[in-house]
Amino acid sequence: MAIRQLSVFIENKKGKLSDAVKTISEAGINMRAMSIGDSDDFGILRLIVSDTAKAYSLLSEDMIVKVTDVIAVKMNDKQGALYTVLRVLEKADINVEYTYAFTARELGAYVVFRVNDVEAAEKALSDKGIVLMTEDEIKSI
């Protein structure tokens, strides 16, 4: 149930983020989640989109793009929900490399995790009844 995430390396210059977003927007691709981290020279734009293959093809024409498997966990939007998920991963000896969150009003809150072992994380979370989001669900939001 891993979800494919695009990591786009973009120059940390005015207009570069806008260019990347314009490219996928004009192609009719919807962004489902986004995170960006930066340094002085470049940024890493992390995207979950409605059509990963098409976005990868378009963005990789002008930028360095990597596809990474991540997991997305559906959580109740309440105090302690994230802690519960993190404890399951910790007890299963799964390292969280980074995370970011998104909400879909009708569907609830989701957290995206990049972990060192996707399959083990999926099993540990599923065994505890924690709902994971699928690629098909992302396309249908």
Residue 129, Ramachandran bin (φ over 0: left; ψ between -120 and 50: alpha; else beta): left
Q: Which two tokens stand for residue 37?
A: 């981290």
Please check whether residue 65 is in contact with residue 19, taking contact to mean a CB–CB distance below 8 angstroms: no
1 confidence band (pLDDT: 50, 70, 90) = confident
Q: What is the pLDDT of residue 133?
A: 87
Q: Is the pLDDT of residue 78 over 90?
A: no
Segment 59-81 shows an average pLDDT of: 92
- Global confidence as pTM: 0.84
Res. 105: pLDDT tops 80: no
8 Å CB contact between 104 and 46: no
The two tokens of residue 119 are 């399959």
- Identify the pLDDT of residue 141: 65
Q: Residue 51 carries which DSSP code?
A: -
Residue 130 has pLDDT above 90, yes or no: yes
Express each pLDDT in 36-49 by its tens digit: 987 788 899 999 99
Q: Which two tokens mark 106?
A: 């009708």
102: pLDDT strictly greater than 80: no
- The predicted structure's pLDDT at residue 111: 85
Q: How far is CA 27 from CA 3, 5, 82, in A?
A: 21, 18, 34
If pLDDT is split at 50, 70 and 90, which confidence band does 137 have? confident
pLDDT on residue 90: 97
Domains of the chain in start order, with CATH, are: 3-68 (3.30.2130.10), 70-140 (3.30.70.260)
For CA atoms 53, 54, 57, 59, the dihedral sign is: negative
